[in-house]
A and B are shown apart, each in its own frame.
Chain A
Amino acid sequence: MKLLYFAWLRQRIGTAEEVLELPREVATVAELVSWLKTRGPAYAEALKNPKLVRVAVNREYVPFEHAVKPGDEVAFFPPVTGG
């Protein structure tokens, strides 16, 4: 699975992009977030407040209960501030 991070999430996690092999039991965005938080303090810190984290799967906004599968592009980022 390709994971992308933007803005302060990218800075706190320390990478813009990574490809990870997910454990079989990770089937939703929420489970993916929980699993990522176990990967180290930087992930736990960046993802600690779900209210400040938006998620896109294959470039569409999705809620935390949305399903994820191998091959998806999953992006994590703060609420947007363009315009």
Chain B
Amino acid sequence: MIRVQREDFDVGQELAALTRDRTSIGGVTSFVGLVRDVAGGEKIASMTLEHYPGMTEKQLAEIEAEAHRRWPLDAVLIIHRYGELKPGDRIVLVACASAHRDAAFDACQFLIDWLKTKAPFWKLEETPAGPRWVAAQASDDEAAERWSR
């Protein structure tokens, strides 16, 4: 399941809803991405996430489908926020439910690694020197690359 939204989310409620009445699930892994207060040595007052409505949902659905092809998953949830966020705010939730933990751990890492290089989001940070677009990291490409096959 994919959700792209401005609003915050409650991790506990989301995980409970994901597994409700599905007693074949043996475990859930989750990753929660947060806004950091420092980036590149500069203090971040806020961060604004821009995205490409329509393509974002399409890309996330493709990434979710790929995870289902690779691992035996009972459920996948991706929530990604957009708009203005403050340090400490939640940005993204990725959760994977499976009968066994290995699939859930691997799929969760795969999803966040792929999402970072494929989902059309862009971060604009407010720094003391003014607004600054976050540059893509080579390390993110490398993280995604290890899942390519």
A residues whose Cβ falls under 8 Å from a Cβ of B:
4, 6-8, 56, 59-61, 75, 77-83
Contacts and interface: CB of A to CB of B under 8 A. Distances in A.
Given A7-B133, A8-B133, A59-B58, A82 B52 contact: no
A80 B118 contact: yes
A75 B49 contact: no
A12 B52 CA distance: 17
B80 A82 contact: yes
B108 to A, nearest CB: 12
A61 B56 CA distance: 12
A79 B136 contact: yes
Given A4-B52, A6-B50, A8-B133, A80 B33 contact: no
A52 B122 CA distance: 13
Contacts of B119: 80, 82-83
Nearest to A82: B121
Given A75-B120, A82-B49, A82-B121, 18 more contacts: A6-B52, A7-B133, A8-B133, A56-B55, A56-B120, A59-B52, A61-B118, A77-B52, A80-B118, A81-B123, A81-B134, A81-B136, A82-B51, A82-B92, A82-B115, A82-B116, A82-B119, A82-B122
A68 to B, nearest CB: 16
Contacts of A8: 133
21 contacts: A4-B52, A6-B120, A7-B122, A7-B133, A8-B133, A56-B55, A59-B52, A61-B118, A75-B120, A77-B120, A80-B116, A80-B117, A80-B122, A81-B122, A81-B133, A81-B136, A81-B137, A82-B49, A82-B92, A83-B112, A83-B140
B85 to A, nearest CB: 12
Interface string B41-54: 00000000111101
